[in-house]
Amino acid sequence: MPMLFVGLWSTGFVTARLGMPHAPPIAFLVMRFGLSAAGFAIWVWLAGAAWPKGIRQWLHLGVLGLTTQAAYLICGWAAIKHGMGVGTMTLLVGLQPLLTAMWMDRQNSQVIARLGGRQWAGLLLGFLGLLLVVSHKLGQGELGPLNLGLGVAALLAISFGSIYQKRYVKGADARTAMLIQLLVAFLVSAPLALLETESIIWHRDLFIALGWSVLGLTIGASSLLFVLLQRGVATQVTSLMYLIPPCAALLAWALFDEPIGMLVWLGMALSALGVFWVVKRV
C-alpha cells in the first residue's frame, strides 16, 4: 500500500504539467472535486459504506476537506500557476515530514512515540536527498511574495491536515470520509473559481489530466493517504513524501525524456535510505 501510494502521488506533477496550460487552477480543481465526489458517492451507495458516527467526526472530516484537499491543492497549484518552479514547490512541500516530526515530537500524547536519533537522522537524510533531486530545477521559476506565500500555505495545510487527522479522526470508513472531504472542498472552491478570469480550453490534454486527477490522484492516492494515516504513525507515513520527487523525476525521464544526472541518482538513494531509517521499527 505505501509503494502504491508513492507511485500514484508522484504523478501529480505530471498531471499539473499536462493540464495547467488549459485551465485556471481553481476551476480545474472544482471539476476535480466535483467529479471525485460523484465517484465516491456511487462507490458509497453500491458498497453500503458506513457513515461517520456523531457530529464531531463530521466536523473533523470537514476540517480535513478544508486543509488537505482545498487549501493544499488550491495554494499549491496556484503557486505553480503564478511562476513557482515545480522543483521549488517540491522542495517546500518536502519540508512536511520535518514539520510533522517537530510538532509531534513536542506532544506528550499517545498519537506518536517521541522520535529517536535514528528517526531524526532519517528525516534529515531524506530531506538532503530531496534537495539533491530537485536542485537542478531550483531557480527555473521566479520567486515572488505571492507564489512563495501560496507555496508556504500549501505546506502548512498538508502538514496541519496530517497531524489533525491522526489526532482527531478515528475509525472512519475511507470512502464516506473522502466523500465528505471532497464535498467540503467543492463548496469552498466553487465560489473562488468565479474570481478567475482565465478561460478553460477544452483540450485533449485537459481531459486526460482531469481524468487521472479524479481516478488516480483523488480516488487512488488521496484515499490511500487517508488509510495510511489511520493505520500508521504520522511521521512514518509523511516521510513517504520524500520518495515522491525521486519517483516524479523517474516519471519525467520516462515520459518527457528529462535527463537524470548523478546528483539525482544520489538524492534518490539518500531519500530511500532516510525513509527506511524512519519507518524501521527495530
The parent domain of residue 264 ranges over 2-279
pLDDT bin (cut points 50, 70, 90) of residue 7 is confident
Mean pLDDT throughout 126-142? 67
pLDDT bin (cut points 50, 70, 90) of residue 16 is confident
Taking residue 281's Cβ as centre, other Cβ atoms within 10 Å add up to 5
Residue 64 has pLDDT above 70, yes or no: yes
pLDDT bin (cut points 50, 70, 90) of residue 37 is very high
CA distance 171 to 231: 10
Lookup result for grid cell 490511500: 224
Q: Number of folded domains in the chain?
A: 1
- Residue of 242, 265, 243, 241 lying closest to 253 (CA atoms): 265
CA distance 75 to 153: 6
CA distance 97 to 101: 6
The per-residue b/e assignment along 55-70, b for 16 or more CB within 10 angstroms, e otherwise, is eebbebbbbbbbbbbb
* Whole-number percent of the chain with pLDDT over 70: 73
- Tell me the pLDDT tens digit for each residue of 155-209: 889 889 888 888 888 778 889 999 999 999 999 999 999 999 899 999 999 999 9
Q: Is the pTM of this model over 0.85?
A: no
